[in-house]
Structure 1
């Protein structure tokens, strides 16, 4: 993912809130690419209930961000991702995040089991 000019803050590096947008985009893009998330029509969707990030080094425009994504926990209705963000071709990650989705029925907003198709895609990230 490319950084954008507007991602930089007054200190000249990507603002911390943008890292969370990278996490959200990476997870949802993966689900969309694997055909298990339709953001307009899926009956069961994952809501973000927890995020965290540990920063190791700065990124800034015009860096390219490479993303590593894995599932560290897959429960009945929740999943915890670990997401590493790498600046350009660096081997050490610039930031390491955790991101938790709880699956809910879109109509009722009540917890629901992770759909089987989604579970299969997520399981492939846990191996």
Structure 2
């Protein structure tokens, strides 16, 4: 398997400021691997909520994570100030593949990058449902440049 190369900040249409917390560090003195997934989830859902495309308590449609992954290139640690880059790599009928990257302050190359896939489902039935138009419009603004 070929190891991916770290992306640059410019590859991501949205950067979400993400300060590290004391509790993010593990006993080895760096941000624990599971914490990166929380950073990813927070960056995506903050973007969607901030653009009026996510109502986690009352929305008829919810996104469930069905796949995720992360590759690490360099450690981050408290008190680093981070930014999480967000882009949409694939926009389907009822699913979205997000690609994300974590950047330390003033660094152009990702220290970690990953992905996750949301399948959007009806809140009540939990069956896949087409993306609502307002959500699709917001996600289109995050689509990765095909170049």
Mark yes or no: TM-score above 0.5: yes
Kindly report structure 1 stretches of 4+ aligned residues shifted beyond 3 Å: none
Residue in structure 1 matching 2:74, options 50, 57, 82: 57
In the TM superposition, residue 68 of structure 1 has moved relative to its aligned partner by 1.1
Measured against aligned partners, the alpha-carbon deviations of 1:12-61 in whole angstroms (never above 9, x if no partner) come to: 00000000000000000000000010110111011001110010000000
Measured in 2, the distance between the counterparts of 1:114 and 1:107 equals 15
Q: Secondary structure at the match of 1:117?
A: helix
- Tell me the equivalent position of 1:37: 54
Tell me the residue number matched to 2:100.
83
Distance 1:2 1:20 in 2: 14
In structure 1, runs of 5+ residues without a counterpart are none
Q: Could you say what secondary structure the match of 2:135 adopts? A: helix
Q: Kindly indicate whether residue 121 of structure 2 is the aligned counterpart of residue 104 of structure 1.
A: yes
After superposition, the CA RMSD in angstroms is 0.7
Range 83-92 or range 6-15, more displaced? 83-92
When the two structures are aligned, how many residues end up with a matched partner?
A: 127
Match of 1:13 among 30, 36, 54: 30
Give yes or no for the alignment of 1:22 onto 2:35. Answer: no
Q: TM-score, normalised by structure 1?
A: 0.98
Deviation (angstroms), 1:67: 1.5
User: What 5-or-longer segments of structure 2 have no aligned partner?
Assistant: 1-17
Are 2:135 and 1:118 equivalent residues in the alignment? yes
Q: CA deviation at 1:114?
A: 0.9
